[in-house]
Amino acid sequence: MQAMIDAADGTGAWFDLTDVSTEVLTFVCPAPASDDSHVAWYSDEKVLRNAIIRQAGAHLGRREGEAFAHVHGLWADANGHCHAGHLLSEKTVLAVDHMVDVWALEGAMFESTPDHETGFILFHPNGTGQVDNPNAVLGTIRPNELLNEGIAKCAATAGLSGSTVKGLGSLVGTRLKGQSALNDIATEVLLVGSTAQNVIAVGFDGAPICGELSPLLNRVCVTFEVLLVSQSD
């Protein structure tokens, strides 16, 4: 967490994390809700020693005035077994310095606020100042909306065509081309690549799947947070 804060230097940001070595990696997976106020919840915390973050993405924003990160991804334990889910950045410690790609944001940042529909505290985009000729947009996609349609609406609203898409969130199950589906009511998902076609996803049993989303079959569960960046800039 502190490494991301230092790199962003006070701004909101998106981080691409690839082959990052950790001393301690703490994460959770989606799990059934223990009450009737949430559609799903989180598993108990899982702690790995000497794990490698193979691929992850992180939105850095704010919660109650302090820096807060939302991180999904895929990691391998010391024995090479793969896991996926929601990484707890404040309980994860890097093993060595590592160079990563960062998109620092000007004019907008994700802020955490209570969401009455879902019962969760969620990131919502918040303007932080006027930007001349903006080349990117932060957006959130609401529950039950088709992911690809929600991303298209974000791009159209911002006037961005052919944009690179970064994002993470939850889906009602995950359905990939040519693979068995995850049918859990909530799955944690990371978009990988430059479009919204390929994902890493994990459901209640904790076994990750990777591949291309089937079109028109993947609806947002709780929220999906995206950063769209114009490819021409």
Mean pLDDT by 10 residues, the chain (233 residues): 96 98 98 95 98 98 97 98 98 97 96 97 94 92 97 90 92 97 97 94 96 96 97 67
Residue 39 and residue 133 in contact, taking contact as beta carbons nearer than 8 Å: no
From 103, 136, 157, the end of a domain falls on 103
Assess whether 98 and 130 both reside in one domain: no
CATH number, domain of 91, equals: 3.30.1330.80
pLDDT of residue 133: 87
Distance CA 151, CA 173 (A): 18
pLDDT of residue 82: 98
Distance CA 63, CA 180 (A): 37
CATH number, domain of 145, equals: 3.30.1330
pLDDT of residue 161: 75
pLDDT of residue 194: 86
Assess whether 130 and 184 both reside in one domain: yes
Assess whether 126 and 162 both reside in one domain: yes
pLDDT of residue 105: 96
Assess whether 19 and 68 both reside in one domain: yes
**Residue 7: partners with Cβ closer than 8 Å, 6 or more residues away:** 13, 15, 100, 102
Assess whether 164 and 150 both reside in one domain: yes
pLDDT of residue 225: 98
Q: Among positive and negative, which fits the CA dihedral 215, 218, 219, 220? A: negative
From 88, 103, 118, the end of a domain falls on 103
